[in-house]
Amino acid sequence: MPPNAESAAFRSALEVIRAVEPRVADAIGAELVDQRESLKLIASENYASPATLLAMGNWFSDKYAEGTVGRRFYAGCQNVDTVEALAAEHARELFGASHAYVQPHSGIDANLVAFWAILADRVESPALKRAQARHVNDLTEQDWFALRRELGDQRMLGMSLDAGGHLTHGFRPNISGKMFDQRSYGTDPATGLVDYDRVAEAAREFRPLVLVAGYSAYPRKVNFRIMREIADSVGATFMVDMAHFAGLVAGKVFTGDFDPVPHAHIVTTTTHKSLRGPRGGMVLCGPELADQVDRGCPMVLGGPLPHVMAAKAVALAEARRPDFAAYAQRIVDNAQALADGLLRRGATLVTGGTDNHLVLIDVTGYGLTGRQAEQALLDSGIVTNRNAVPQDANGAWYTSGIRIGTPALTTRGLGTAEMDGTAELIHTVLSQTSAGANPDGTASKAKYVLDPALADKVSRQAGELLAGFPLYPNVDLG
């Protein structure tokens, strides 16, 4: 490929956009500048390849394609069939799954497809048939209660939010919490680790229909063989949401008991995060659930997004290359180096370290809330997100933690040496930030005090750290 091909592609695209709405073109260009200059440590973000990005901006966006490959409700979908089949093929080969459904628009959509597939596989009821025929957003609270009565007491057991679980695993603010009676398993208060004996005890007591494993802020591996044994012991369907660590599974960093695909009845994921693809979702399952999963549209999903499925095919093809496995291992190496650097500087980490792509800092040791720490770091050119820690006294809004991850910086090429420098910058900011006060003199959970000169200095140092690792080096917008 000519070295200027990527620059030419993006320059041309922006010229076309600018002719219609220059402010949008400006915002796109500004986003590239911001991403190049920021030390991005958000564990759920990454940088998709130029090929993946370009695959989303094309005529596939103009097509409706309800249905599945070869069984569409619209004519003229032969090219959509090609890219969807390719994406599914790459997913099956990459993860060793017998079936892949690549239509979900997001991780929550993938989870909804999985939930409904499990319910449909378990029961047949008039309420379920009515729900399948309607859009989920049209169902009233009374509809949900009627559905629950007809289906029986549908129970879900998943990881608690403060232990690192996700909102879509049966919590009331999410639609999954209206579908299921949810109970949580936490982590050992002393270690922060999953206690499988306690999970088994909770499963025996609660008798869930669905046992969910997976996390968004748990910095360790999960033994999926043990979790499957627990599910089998109570007759539950075992579902794993691997959205955060799918890239580590694809790259064969997580294998054996720590690879969910051989052990789970059904697996959901996003296609971005550590997998480094476009924003979207995916469901993997065995043949017993394949027919129900393929009914995701129109049961839960609207029309598929063919342009995003094309990008998924490209990203999954990239993930099948040998260099992706090396990349996945570097993600973990970098996360462990970052954790070690923070620990040596006196930071408190949930579970005392990491086995995966993320590190969770308990910032109460710095006298801060997560919200204060997040903003102070952002002022200093370090992009993170606040996150609850186990038994969080500050709740889910202010939080007591900061979640940091290494997939994006690893994509840029930073290694373990740069992780120590990153740890130094994070510690410098947090140790020099103090909690602010409200107008009445009481302690604030949001306001903070940080010397602007220090913030500017750290921002410059972050820029110097990134200078040797340019983002999209072949893209010059002029």
pLDDT in tens, 336-371: 999 999 999 999 999 999 999 999 999 999 999 999
Residue 37's H or E segment, with its range, is: helix 22-37
pLDDT at residue 302 tops 80: yes
Average pLDDT, rounded, for the chain: 90
CA-to-CA dists, residue 34 to 159, 279, 308, 373, 434, angstroms: 35, 19, 24, 20, 27
Dihedral over Cα of 465, 468, 471, 477: its sign: positive
- Give the other-Cβ count within 10 Å of 272's Cβ: 26
Rounded-to-5 percentages of helix, strand, coil across the chain: 50, 15, 35
SS3 427: helix
Domains of the chain: 59-319 (3.40.640.10), 322-467 (3.90.1150.10)
Sheet with strand 266-270: strands edge to edge: 99-101, 281-285, 266-270, 237-241, 210-214, 155-159, 181-185
User: Residue 201: which pLDDT band, with cuts at 50, 70 and 90?
Assistant: very high
> Which member of 40, 155, 228, 273 is catalytic?
273
Q: Which of 119, 430, 95 is nearest to 283 (CA)?
A: 95
Amino acid at position 328, single letter: A
In Å, how far are 297, 431, 443 from 437, measured between CA atoms?
51, 18, 5
* 66 belongs to the catalytic site: yes
Distance (Å, whole) CA 447 – CA 405: 25
Calculate Rg over the CA atoms of the chain.
Answer: 23
Q: What pLDDT was estimated at residue 255?
A: 97
d(CA 246, CA 274): 6
What is the percent of the chain where pLDDT is above 70?
A: 91
Q: Determine whether 64 is an active site residue.
A: yes
pLDDT tens-digit series, residues 426-436: 999 999 999 99
Catalytic residue among 279, 386, 403, 445: 279
Q: Which of 18, 37, 63, 64 is catalytic?
A: 64
Task: Report whether 452 contacts 459 (CB < 8 A).
Answer: no
Catalytic residue among 37, 45, 66, 188: 66
What pLDDT was estimated at residue 135? 52
Phi, psi of 53 (to 5 degrees): -60, -45
pLDDT at 369 (0 to 100): 97
DSSP state of 106: S
Answer whether 261's CB lies under 8 Å from 284's CB. yes
> What six digits make up the tokens of 270?
């996003």
Higher pLDDT, 121 or 425: 425
> Residue 125 has what pLDDT?
47
- Residue 294 burial (CB count, 10 A): 20
Known active-site residue 445: no
Strand pairing category for 266-270 and 237-241:
parallel
For residue 3, is pLDDT > 80?
A: no
State what percent of residues in the chain have pLDDT above 90.
76
How many residues can be counted in the chain? 478
| The two structure tokens encoding residue 318 | 């990239």
Q: Which is nearest to 273 in space by CA: 250, 294, 292?
A: 250
The residues near 129 (Cβ < 8 Å, ≥ 6 apart) are none
For residue range 131-174, list pLDDT tens digits in order.
555 555 555 655 655 555 455 468 889 988 777 777 677 666 77
Q: Which region among 14-28, 63-77, 356-370 has the lowest average model confidence (pLDDT)?
A: 63-77
In this structure, which amino acid lies at residue 407? P
Sorted by sequence, the CB contacts under 8 Å of residue 437 that are 6+ apart come out as 443, 444, 447
Residue 230's H or E segment, with its range, is helix 224-233
Q: What is the pLDDT of residue 139?
A: 57
The b/e string for 369-391 (b: 16+ C-beta within 10 A; e otherwise) is bbbbbbbbbebbbbbbbbbbbbe
As a whole number of angstroms, the distance between CA 368 and CA 348 comes to: 12
Among the listed residues 52, 168, 268, 270, the single catalytic one is 270
Question: Active site includes 270?
Answer: yes
C-alpha angle 63-64-68 in degrees, rounded to nearest 5 = 115
Report DSSP state, residue 299.
Answer: H
Query: Mean pLDDT, to the nearest integer, of 19-34?
Result: 96
Structure tokens at 202: 């909770």
DSSP track, 237-289: EEEEE-TTTHHHHHTTSS-GGG-STTT-SEEEEESSGGG---S-EEEEE-HHH
- Gap between the Cα atoms of 222 and 254, Å rounded: 10
CB 365 within 8 A of CB 378: no
